[in-house]
């Protein structure tokens, strides 16, 4: 086997690379960002004087171990940082690095593409000063900046509490943490959450630390809108007692957990199935990450599981690749990894209940609310298209009629909400609304770069 390529420099990709190196291979590791570590363990820019140990808290040890492992691999892999993979066809990856287009042929491909924020539209969410939760973390870690001086953390995600605590430690005034899921849902999910007691305890410590710092935590609230003219001025909510409240702020970090980045997996030939717990279409794999001929998926790009599950699945994907090339691994090495992944993904299913995707919010959205920021498509336009005589009831047809999902993000952010709105308007199960099909480029590239490719 000549070219083994790994896409993604987070825990899954780094662990997969280490297994392949131990087997005598020299994989190509392609990383979209300049710094390795993925989203959760992203290394800060070298020019920043961030106290990463304080920022990472109890995860500092894992952060350090991952980066130590990566440092030990750099001389034994072909590492390509700052390289976007925007498409793949017939075992060739199409890339962009420093504005220059290129290709990387491969014989086997491990996709460890990670996840991105999952967003539900809300009146005012397109105002300057509104960031995704992940975006707020990137700005802090990558640039050493805060998104505002007085920040509201809004949505439903365990990242709400971690990000809020990191901002508090970095000097921001956290106006409130508004979790739209009630505490009763968290108690109901405790059995699945107990699958990872250490992670559960860590999340409770984050919440306790915020409470001890005097930061308001509001559970079970319904977001009504983000207010402002040219910039965020505050957040309107209805608390669990039905009272409307206004929280003044100059920035909002907003999100509802994560969804896998599956675009490249689809282009590479993976098949998909609907997962009712996450209400997402996820790629089909076997227990070790096989998703097709010479295609392996690992980490949150396959199924949300967290950093520990990502490392374990990265190792399994590498072992599967080796086995498929005539170097099978002993079952004693594989069984513990499979068990660990199963345990941690069960915990994530608990999180999906404890931090719920707001289906009711989608149904209650006003017609004026923008769903697709790229094309400025509103909820009302989508509903009108579906309700028209012989109107479309499948998201790709709705996309063709309304242009929702045709913009720069290719539906990566508006897609989940579009599915909910179409299904709700049709009064049909969400799986019947389908999923947006992907096409290259999966992320924006300049036309001049694409023109540099050989025909």
pLDDT, tens digit, 9 for 90 and up, residues 172-225:
999 999 999 999 999 999 999 998 898 889 899 999 999 999 999 999 999 999
- 3-class state of residue 38 by DSSP: coil
Which conformational region is residue 43 in: left (phi greater than 0), alpha (psi within -120 to 50 degrees), or beta? beta
pTM of the model: 0.93
pLDDT at 199: 87
What's the pLDDT at 55?
72
- State the fold for domain 119-256: FAD/NAD(P)-binding domain (3.50.50)
Q: What share of the chain is helix, strand, coil (3-state, %, to 5)?
A: 40, 20, 40
The stretches of 31-103 forming alpha helices (DSSP H) are: 52-56, 60-73
**Residue 107: predicted pLDDT:** 96
Residue 425 has pLDDT above 70, yes or no: yes
Identify the three-state secondary structure at position 183.
Answer: helix
pLDDT of residue 453: 57
Residue 451 — very low, low, confident or very high, per pLDDT cuts 50/70/90?
A: low
**Higher local confidence (pLDDT), 381 or 454:** 381
Spatial distance between the Cα atoms of 127 and 93, rounded to a whole number of angstroms: 36
Domains of the chain by residue range: 4-116+259-351, 119-256, 365-433
Which 3 state secondary structure label does DSSP give 238? strand
- The mean of the pLDDT values for the chain is 92
Please name the residues in contact with 13: beta carbons below 8 A apart, sequence gap of 6 or more: 6, 7, 29, 31, 38, 110, 112, 298, 299, 314
Q: Mind listing the pLDDT tens digit for each residue in 123-171?
A: 999 999 999 999 999 898 878 899 999 999 999 998 999 999 999 999 9
Q: How far apart are CA 266 and CA 414, in angstroms?
A: 18
Where does the pLDDT of residue 1 fall: very low under 50, low under 70, confident under 90, or very high at 90 and above?
low
Residues 301, 305, 310, 313, CA torsion sign: negative
Q: Is the dihedral of CA 59, 61, 64, 67 positive or negative?
A: negative
Please report which residue ranges of 173-214 form alpha helices under DSSP H.
183-188, 190-193, 197-212
Residue 396 pLDDT grade (very low, low, confident, very high; cuts 50, 70, 90): very high
Query: Among all chains, which residue has been given the structure tokens 């209400």?
Result: 279
CATH number for the domain formed by residue range(s) 4-116+259-351: 3.50.50.60
Task: Give me the pLDDT at residue 75, please.
Answer: 93
Helix count and strand count (H, E) for the chain:
16, 23
The pLDDT score that the predictor gives to residue 328 is 87
For 396-450, give the DSSP string. HHHHHHH-TT-STTTTTTTHHHHHHHHHHHHT--GGGG--PPP-S-SS---HHHH
- How far is the C-alpha of 253 from the C-alpha of 178, rounded, in Å? 10
Q: Is 100 helix (H, G, I), strand (E, B) or coil?
A: strand
Top mean pLDDT of 61-75, 221-235, 300-314 is at 221-235
Give yes or no for residue 452 having a pLDDT over 70: no
CATH T-level topology, domain 365-433: Arc Repressor Mutant, subunit A (1.10.10)
pLDDT at 149: 96
For residue 450, the model assigns a pLDDT of 65
Indicate the range of 9-18, 50-59, 105-114, 276-285 predicted with least confidence. 50-59
Residue 227 has pLDDT above 80, yes or no: yes
454 pLDDT exceeds 60?
A: no
What 401-407 contacts at long range (C-beta under 8 Å, 24+ apart), as own/partner pairs, is: 402/372, 402/375, 402/377, 403/372, 403/375, 403/377, 404/371, 404/372, 404/375, 404/377, 405/372, 405/436, 406/372, 406/374, 406/375, 407/372, 407/373, 407/374, 407/375
Determine whether 37 is exposed, middle or buried from the number of CB atoms within 10 Å of its CB (0-12, 13-18, 19+): buried
State how far the Cα of 109 lies from the Cα of 269, in Å rounded to an integer.
Answer: 11
Question: Cα 8 to the chain's mean position, in Å?
Answer: 13
**Neighbouring C-beta atoms of residue 65, cutoff 10 Å:** 12
At 68-85, the pLDDT tens digits run: 999 999 999 999 999 999
Q: Is the dihedral of CA 347, 348, 349, 354 positive or negative?
A: positive
pLDDT confidence bin for 62, thresholds 50/70/90: confident
Residue 41: its pLDDT value, please? 81
Q: Per-residue confidence at 57, pLDDT binned at 50, 70, 90?
A: confident
Share of the chain above pLDDT 90, in %: 78
For the cut 80, the answer to whether the pLDDT of residue 455 exceeds it is no
Q: Check for a shared fold between 119-256 and 365-433.
A: no
Give 55 or 158, the one with higher predicted confidence. Answer: 158
Beta carbons of 123 and 235 less than 8 angstroms apart: no
């Amino acid at each position: 086997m000549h070219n083994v390529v790994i896409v993604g420099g987070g825990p899954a990709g780094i662990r997969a690379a280490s297994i392949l190196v131990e087997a005598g291979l020299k994989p190509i590791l392609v990383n979209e960002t300049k710094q390795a570590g993925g989203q959760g363990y992203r290394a800060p820019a070298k020019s920043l004087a961030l106290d990463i140990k304080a920022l990472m808290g109890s995860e500092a040890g894992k952060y350090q171990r991952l980066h130590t492992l990566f440092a030990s691999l750099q001389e034994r892999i072909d590492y390509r940082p700052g390289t976007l993979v925007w498409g793949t066809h017939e075992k060739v990856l199409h890339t962009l690095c420093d504005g220059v287009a290129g290709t990387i042929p491969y014989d086997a491909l491990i996709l460890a593409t990670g996840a991105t924020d999952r967003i539900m539209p809300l009146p005012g969410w397109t105002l300057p000063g509104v960031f995704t939760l992940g975006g707020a973390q990137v700005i802090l870690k990558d640039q050493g900046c805060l998104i505002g001086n007085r920040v509201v953390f809004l949505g439903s995600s365990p990242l709400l509490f971690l990000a809020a605590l990191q901002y508090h430690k970095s000097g921001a005034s956290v106006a409130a943490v508004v979790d739209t899921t009630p505490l009763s849902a968290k108690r109901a999910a405790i059995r699945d959450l107990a699958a990872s007691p250490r992670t559960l305890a860590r999340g409770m410590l984050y919440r306790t630390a915020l409470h001890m710092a005097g930061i308001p935590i509001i559970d079970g609230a319904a977001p009504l809108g983000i207010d402002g003219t040219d910039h965020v001025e505050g957040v309107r909510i209805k608390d669990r007692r039905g009272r409307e409240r206004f929280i003044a702020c100059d920035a909002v970090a907003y999100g509802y957990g994560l969804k896998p980045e599956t675009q490249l997996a689809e282009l590479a030939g993976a098949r998909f199935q609907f997962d009712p717990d996450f209400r997402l279409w996820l790629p089909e794999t076997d227990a070790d990450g096989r998703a097709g001929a010479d295609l392996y998926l690992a980490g949150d790009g396959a199924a949300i599981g967290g950093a520990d599950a990502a490392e374990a699945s990265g190792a399994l994907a590498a072992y599967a690749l080796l086995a498929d090339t005539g170097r099978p691994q002993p079952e004693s090495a594989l069984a513990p990894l499979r068990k660990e992944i199963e345990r941690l993904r069960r915990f994530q299913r608990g999180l999906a209940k404890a931090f719920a995707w707001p289906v009711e919010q989608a149904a209650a959205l006003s017609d004026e609310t923008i769903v697709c920021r790229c094309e400025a498509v509103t909820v009302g336009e989508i509903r009108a298209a579906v309700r028209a005589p012989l109107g479309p009831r499948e998201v790709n047809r709705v996309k063709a009629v309304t242009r929702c999902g045709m913009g720069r993000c290719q539906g990566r952010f508006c897609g989940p909400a579009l599915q909910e709105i179409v299904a709700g308007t049709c009064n049909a199960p969400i799986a019947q609304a389908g999923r947006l099909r992907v096409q290259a480029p999966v992320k924006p590239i300049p036309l001049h770069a694409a023109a540099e490719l050989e025909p």
